[in-house]
Amino acid sequence: MKVLRQILTLFALLLAATPALAQSTSGPLRIEITEGVIEPLPFATPAFVAENAAARRLADDLAAVVVADLVGSGIFREIPSAAHISGIGNFDAPVQFSDWKAVNAQALVTGAVSQRGNGQIAVKFRLFDVFAEAALGEGLQFVGPESDWRRMAHKVADAVYARLTGERGYFDSRVVFVSEAGPKDARRKRLALMDYDGANVRNLTDDRALVLAPRFSPDGNQVLYTSYETGMPRVFVLDLATMRRRALDDLPGMTFAPRFSPDGRTVLMSLSEGGNTDIYSVDLASGQRSRLTRAPSIETAPSYAPDGGQIVFESDRAGNQQLYIMQAGGGEARRISFGAGRYGTPVWSPRGDLIAFTKINKGRFHIGVMRLDGSEERLLTASFLDEGPTWSPNGRVLMFFRETPGSSGAPSLYSVDVSGRNLKRVNTPGFGSDPSWSALLK
């Protein structure tokens, strides 16, 4: 897990020839992310310059990842290289804006890659507003080990996304999930980690014990999950740097459905004892726990608000699964879901404004979002079984898993914009379920 600890150096590249930012009357190039249908913003990414011959392939691979990130967001549309009139031979030469206007590229991303000694590479990029004939922000350079080339590409794409949308990106991030294999009645499961786009999958556990529902810590260094390695479901915490794991608690009964607090110091989870399931919080440093719900009904799947002040969870206290919000210390809860069917797996958006959930109605499963008071419920997906949404770091995309029906049914990871657009499968090597999206990497 050494790669997790490596920190990319990042600094603004000084540009001697940076023109003063030309302010067009309509303001800088900007695409607003709205709930409605949008027209993707056309951009061009000419082949990145290879500053030494050995960097040619790397430059191409890197540019391809940048393009895949931007196009994959659904917000940008690439002008394919076959349509380009000219390329970029020298990263510092003036841009021929007329060539890019002619192919109707509104944004231009240029880049250069060089290999340095010691396995290090440097990646430079600039972003231009073609019609304003001006750079958008300063050029940036990322330096790091070649093995992290994908992360550097994701950082370039995040910077482009941020400058063009005014919001933070989500590409330089990871997902921990359950990698599944084997037939439906003898499924083997293990924890696995991947880049947000399905690249670089690596296993975190073997498949000897059943494991479920991993969740990232806010700093990305730890993973909570439920394991049957003692024969009972029990919450464990795995340290990604050391790969050491420990049971979180020695509570009698079964524990599951863990989730970190936003400051990473507290864990919420469910304890099932004598057939009754309630929500507890556990202080990670002291092990001190407190019981937050006390009801004969099922209370589970808790998730903190981004400020840590409140908890959304599911309960069947009203007869079937519904969503409730209570204060972080427990106490009175108010029901927020009132539509037809059952609601589970609530997850609070990192922006704080929405709750994502799984809805089961008339035998169909949906991923949806609603406001904190339950209003403006929007179902984003529908299938035989969609379950377990997790938010992208910027709160614009949800990842979840979709299971196909029947005796050969199996789960795969999917993502969808919070608007309901851009539904797509995440390309993992095998079956995948229970995704948990990290924060943006440092």
Partner 1 sequence: MKPTLAGLALLAALALAGCGQGIPNSGLNGVDTAGNFQQDSPEFFVASIGDRVLFTVDQSNLNPEAMSILDAQAAWLMQNVEFSALIEGHADEQGTREYNLALGARRASAVQSYLVSRGVANNRLTTVTYGKERPLEICSTEACWSKNRRAVTVVSAGLNS
Where on the chain is the footprint of partner 1 (CB under 8 A)?
A: 183-185, 187, 210, 212-213, 231-233, 254, 256-257, 270, 272, 274-277, 298, 300-301, 314, 316, 320-321, 344-345, 358, 360, 363, 384-385, 387-388, 403, 405-407, 409, 434
Beta strands in 168-232 (DSSP E): 174-181, 188-195, 202-203, 211-216, 222-227
Query: Residue 255 or 310: which CB sits closer to partner 1?
Result: 255
Least spacing, CB of residue 245 vs partner 1, in Å = 20
Nearest CA among 239, 230, 250, 369 for reference residue 312: 369
Least spacing, CB of residue 319 vs partner 1, in Å = 10
Q: How far apart are CA 98 and CA 90, in angstroms?
A: 17
Least spacing, CB of residue 256 vs partner 1, in Å = 5
Phi, psi of 66 (to 5 degrees): -60, -45
Query: Residue 26 or 407: which CB sits closer to partner 1?
Result: 407
Give the number of other Cβ atoms within 10 Å of residue 316's Cβ.
Answer: 16
Residue type, 348: W
Query: Residue 45 or 315: which CB sits closer to partner 1?
Result: 315
Can you list the pairs that 58-63 forms with residues at least 24 positions away whose Cβ atoms lie under 8 Å? 58/113, 58/115, 58/121, 58/146, 58/149, 59/111, 59/112, 59/113, 61/149, 61/153, 62/111, 62/113, 62/123, 62/149, 62/152, 62/153, 62/156, 63/111, 63/153
Least spacing, CB of residue 301 vs partner 1, in Å = 5
Query: Residue 111 or 344: which CB sits closer to partner 1?
Result: 344
Least spacing, CB of residue 213 vs partner 1, in Å = 6
Query: Given phi > 0 = left and psi -120 to 50 = alpha, else beta, which region is 102?
Result: alpha
Q: How far apart are CA 67 and CA 69, in angstroms?
A: 5
Residues linked to residue 122 through DSSP beta bridges, in sequence order: 114, 143
Q: How far apart are CA 319 and CA 330, in angstroms?
A: 21
Query: Residue 184 or 351: which CB sits closer to partner 1?
Result: 184
Least spacing, CB of residue 407 vs partner 1, in Å = 4
Query: Residue 261 or 272: which CB sits closer to partner 1?
Result: 272
Query: Residue 33 or 269: which CB sits closer to partner 1?
Result: 269
Residues linked to residue 247 through DSSP beta bridges, in sequence order: 236
Q: How far apart are CA 282 and CA 250, in angstroms?
A: 11
Least spacing, CB of residue 232 vs partner 1, in Å = 5
Least spacing, CB of residue 385 vs partner 1, in Å = 7
Q: What spatial distance separates the first Cα and last Cα of the chain, rounded to whole Å?
A: 15
Query: Residue 55 or 248: which CB sits closer to partner 1?
Result: 248
